[in-house]
Amino acid sequence: MEIIRGEDWYGRDLDGAEFDGVEFVDVDMTELRATGATFTGCTFRTVRFNVAEFTDTAFSNCTFQGCNFFDATFVRCKLTGSAFSGCDFALLKAEGGNWSFVDLSGAELRGARFTGVRLREADLTRARCAEAVFSGCDLSAASLTGADFSAADLTGSDLTGIDPEDVLLRGATIDVRQAVTLAEAAGILVVPTPTPTPPPP
C-alpha cells in the first residue's frame, strides 16, 4: 500500500485524480478542491479537510480515522461503504450524493447539514445529531438506535422504519407526512379527519 505521510496539500486541485488503496497520514488538505476525483479503498488518518470542497467525487469503501472536516463541503459525492471514527464534523455540508452504507456510528454531527443525501442503510447508531439538518434525505433502513436528533431539521426525509422509542426527537422539526409515519411506527392508528356535519337548516 502506498503511504503519503505528513505532506502539505493546502489548496491543492485534485480534479479528476484517482487513488486506489492509498493511505494518507497527517496530510493537510485544508481548502483542497476536487471535482470528479476517485478514492477507492483508501485510508485517511488524522487528515485535515478543513474548508475543503469536493464535487462529484467518490470515496468508495474508504476509512477515515481522527480526521477534521471543519466547514468541508461535499456536493453530489459518493461515499458508499465508507467508515468514520473519531472525526470532527463541525459545520460539515453535504448536498446530494450517495452516503448509503456509511458508518457514522457515534459520530458528533451537531450542526452538520445533509440536504438531499441518500443515507439508505447508513449506520447512525448513537450519532449525536442535535441541531443538525437532514432535509430531503433518504434515511430508510438506516440504523438509528440511540441517535439524538434533538432540535434537528428532518423535513422531507424518508423516516420509514424509524422507531420513535429508540431515537431522541425532542424539539425536532418534521412535516405532516413524517408525523403520520412516526405515529404509525409508535402503534398509533391514524385516520382521516372526519368531515364536519353541516348544521341543520
**22: pLDDT strictly greater than 80:** yes
Q: How far apart are the first and last CA of the chain?
A: 85
**197: pLDDT strictly greater than 90:** no
145: alpha, beta or left, given left = phi > 0 and alpha = psi -120 to 50?
A: beta
CA 30 to chain centre: 20
134: alpha, beta or left, given left = phi > 0 and alpha = psi -120 to 50?
A: beta
CA angle in degrees (0–180, nearest 5) for 191-143-39: 130
pLDDT tens profile 130-185: 999 999 999 999 999 999 999 999 999 998 878 888 999 999 999 988 888 887 77
pLDDT tens profile 48-58: 999 999 999 99
pLDDT tens profile 38-94: 999 999 999 999 999 999 999 999 999 999 999 999 999 999 999 999 999 999 999
> Helix or strand or coil: residue 83?
strand
